[in-house]
């Protein structure tokens, strides 16, 4: 019974963290996202329940070059360095594993 309660508590904590990460990711402004990717802003933080020290969230950003290819060559052009989705990660022992929200295409 004790193991089951500990497992349930860890799962509840993971859900709280995932929801908080999603909220931070979805409510971030375009400027905040650009600054996090460029390293201009310190990474966002999260404070776990029953803890006082905030934990830095690892922000991963990927860029890709896109080319528009059309049957009409006048519309063909490259669009360099388009930002893709941002990925937030936390690797905290009390959560039992690394938690990732969002994705960055490989």
pLDDT at 83 over 70: no
User: How many folded domains does the chain comprise?
Assistant: 1
Count of CB atoms within 10 A of residue 65's CB?
Answer: 9
Give the C-alpha distances (Å, rounded to integers) separating 28 from 32, 39, 41, 81. Answer: 6, 15, 12, 20
Between residues 105 and 7, which one has the greater pLDDT? 7
35 band by pLDDT with thresholds 50, 70 and 90 = confident
Q: Are 62 and 105 in contact (CB under 8 A)?
A: yes
Q: Name the residue range of residue 42's domain.
A: 2-102
Strand pairing of 45-46 and 97-102? unpaired
């Amino acid at each position: 019974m004790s193991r089951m309660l500990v497992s349930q508590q860890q799962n509840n904590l993971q859900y709280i963290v995932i929801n908080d990460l999603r909220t931070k990711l979805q409510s971030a402004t375009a400027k905040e996202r650009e600054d996090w990717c460029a390293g201009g802003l310190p990474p966002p933080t999260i404070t776990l329940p029953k803890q006082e020290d905030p934990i830095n969230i690892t922000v991963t950003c990927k860029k890709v070059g896109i080319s528009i290819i059309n049957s009409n060559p006048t519309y063909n052009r490259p669009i360099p360095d388009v930002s893709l989705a941002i990925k937030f990660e936390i690797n905290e022992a009390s959560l039992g594993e690394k938690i990732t929200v969002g994705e960055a295409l490989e």
